Amino acid sequence: MTGRRAAGKRYDRSYFDRWYRSREKVVTPEDTTIKARFALAAAEYMLGRRVQSVLDVGCGEGEWRAVLRRARPQLRYTGVDSSEYTVKRYGRRRGIRHGSFGDVGTMGLRGRFDLVICANVIQYVETRELRRGLRAIRRLTRGLAFLEAFAAEDDVEGDQDGWIVRPADVLRNEFHRAGFIACGMHCWMPRENRWRAAVLEVAEN
């Protein structure tokens, strides 16, 4: 799952083979299935209906797509990734478009999305691009955003090439600055959707 390419870093087939299919992998298909089902259920709980559209920013090879489409066959899935390899190999079949985290607001994406996913990407994104992308994601989110991010206080494994270490309070401030409210478990809602949640379902009021 990729955002903007770190200097000298290539998100090619060997990258995905190493981190998603070899013994070095830290995310298994089972992990992805659990997270995708959770994010889908959380968005549907918040919306009070089935999710019809998903935007997956930094989608990699589109691993989430299969899980989501099994649960909701009619779901409209749009993936965005900076990997030329991914787009060339899977773009047409899996609905993946070429773009970085910061590009998402200028890609001409159609409408808003019931669920926006950005899993394991944010820690690789420079601050200026992070702010631009988060503002765009908030505008594109109709229901809920699953923004999986890891802070300096977390004990992390996996690819740390290009990793930008930020304390948790810095990340929270960036999300708040972009107009998000925390719902827990990597889930965030646009501030304008605050009316959808009970008082105890959000971290601030």
CATH code for position 96? 3.40.50.150
- Give the per-residue pLDDT at 27: 77
Q: How many domains does the chain have?
A: 1
Beta-bridged to residue 117, according to DSSP, are 56, 146
Structure tokens at 66: 């299969």
- Give the per-residue pLDDT at 65: 97
- Give the per-residue pLDDT at 4: 41
- Give the per-residue pLDDT at 8: 56
Please indicate, yes or no, if residue 183 is contained in any of the structural domains. Answer: yes
Q: Is 108 left (phi over 0), alpha (psi -120 to 50) or beta?
A: left
Whole-number Å distance between alpha carbons of 177 and 170: 10
Please indicate, yes or no, if residue 49 is contained in any of the structural domains. Answer: yes
pTM: 0.90
Residue range of the domain that includes 98: 18-201
- Give the per-residue pLDDT at 19: 60
Please indicate, yes or no, if residue 25 is contained in any of the structural domains. Answer: yes
Please indicate, yes or no, if residue 10 is contained in any of the structural domains. Answer: no
Please indicate, yes or no, if residue 13 is contained in any of the structural domains. Answer: no
In this structure, are residues 40 and 71 in contact, taking their beta carbons and an 8 Å threshold?
Answer: yes
Whole-number Å distance between alpha carbons of 149 and 32: 15
Please indicate, yes or no, if residue 11 is contained in any of the structural domains. Answer: no
Please indicate, yes or no, if residue 2 is contained in any of the structural domains. Answer: no
Structure tokens at 99: 């773009």
Please indicate, yes or no, if residue 42 is contained in any of the structural domains. Answer: yes
What residues in the chain have per-residue pLDDT under 50? 1-7
